[in-house]
Structure 1
């Protein structure tokens, strides 16, 4: 008997979701924003920036620079548009200490751990690795994957809902740099990867949960007096066919 379709769906979609959520976690494009600097600010940026990274940028005396700012859970980047000048650094300051960012970090790490554990638990108990699949163990792995999907969805929802306010100073306090207040931030590619991966985790885990349902096999019509073997209880196709004997098989 072939592996049940629910198990196949689960062990395919759950790893895909894990890879996408992991990709979103390590990339710094959860949110992005642009800021245009005048000529004076551009010159000071080039004089102070970069440890030799700005050698290829030669703006004219009155040319303005457009800065692209991106933030992730563990890394932030700043890049000059249409140039190779780019610098990344670990998150710091108000953004790092923001409780909503720290909450998202913890939920994503817990999601990755639970999803990986659920995939390992499910994969070693499906028919690919054993003669008779242990449906209860595979379904327990699916429960872990579903929990992981819920955690990552919660982290993404918290981050998306507060995206423009994360790490920003209190509006009632005086701003040391007014330009930061005018930086318009929006969702970026890593956030969408996370949403897609979380949905795949939910789909794969939900499919594995169907393994809890164990089909029952009545005795075959050709020999109703024979008891049904324990291995046949997972193989409804055998007892459902007319004029077919019942044999001990591996499912």
Structure 2
């Protein structure tokens, strides 16, 4: 098998970036924040009126609210100003497009590399690499938009959690939001996609065979007298 090392690197990095980005896209930890809530109507741990630490996290499609150091947790589909924000919707569209392009590129690259034969289809593998690299750029664009405006995106408690476990969340103070784990996973996945696509593109160059000398080209034969 004469598969270039760059192609092997690309076919490893491309699916890895796809998995990382997909994992980040479906988890609700793109941004997170916390706030103290005083005067809770329900006792937690047997202490009425105790201040509670609420943890809020948002993803592209889901938001969650949890009371720290307890099992009280509830998630709901993203709604309100956050769900309607044009920047969030743009990030969703770009991420979905990136996942589709990366998946298509991985399939093309797998067909082009043809690990079961000696000679890869370099142009097909390079086409897959181009799609993977483009998917990585789309992911970076989505992440750049989301990260830059992270603190400006709206925060609204959905009606389904207005009575969250008996707590008065209507008086919850404003949150100081910051990037969360899923957003970092997405950044890593996007860069891995770009590197994988570039590695596949580098494999399009055909290896040059060294020129043979006249003496090497001459065929030896035996003469019988």
* Pairwise TM-score range, normalised by the shorter structure: 0.7 to 0.9
Return the match for 2:138 from 148, 151, 155. 151
Which residue of the partner structure matches residue 117 of structure 2? 130
Which residue of the partner structure matches residue 217 of structure 2? 224
Equivalent residues, number: 205
Q: For the Cα contact (< 8 Å) 2:13–2:196, is it kept in 1? A: yes
Moved over 6 A (4+): none
Q: For the Cα contact (< 8 Å) 2:2–2:118, is it kept in 1? A: no
Q: For the Cα contact (< 8 Å) 1:21–1:197, is it kept in 2? A: yes
1:131-210 matches, within 5 Å, as 131-168=118-155, 179-180=172-173, 182-210=174-202
Equivalent-residue separation in structure 2 for 1:68 and 1:38 (angstroms): 14
Which residue of the partner structure matches residue 78 of structure 2? 91
Q: 1:225 to 1:75 in 2, by over 3 A?
A: farther
Q: Give CA-to-partner distance per residue, 1:113-137, whole Å, 9 cap, x none.
A: 0001001100111141333201011
TM-score, scaled relative to structure 1 = 0.77
Q: For the Cα contact (< 8 Å) 1:124–1:130, is it kept in 2? A: no
Unmatched 5+ stretches in structure 1: 48-56, 170-176, 227-251
Equivalent-residue separation in structure 2 for 1:8 and 1:198 (angstroms): 19
TM-score, scaled relative to structure 2 = 0.85
Q: Which has the higher contact order (CA 8 A, sep 6+)?
A: 2
1:1-251 matches, within 5 Å, as 1-39=1-39, 42-43=40-41, 46=42, 57-168=44-155, 179-180=172-173, 182-221=174-213, 223-224=216-217
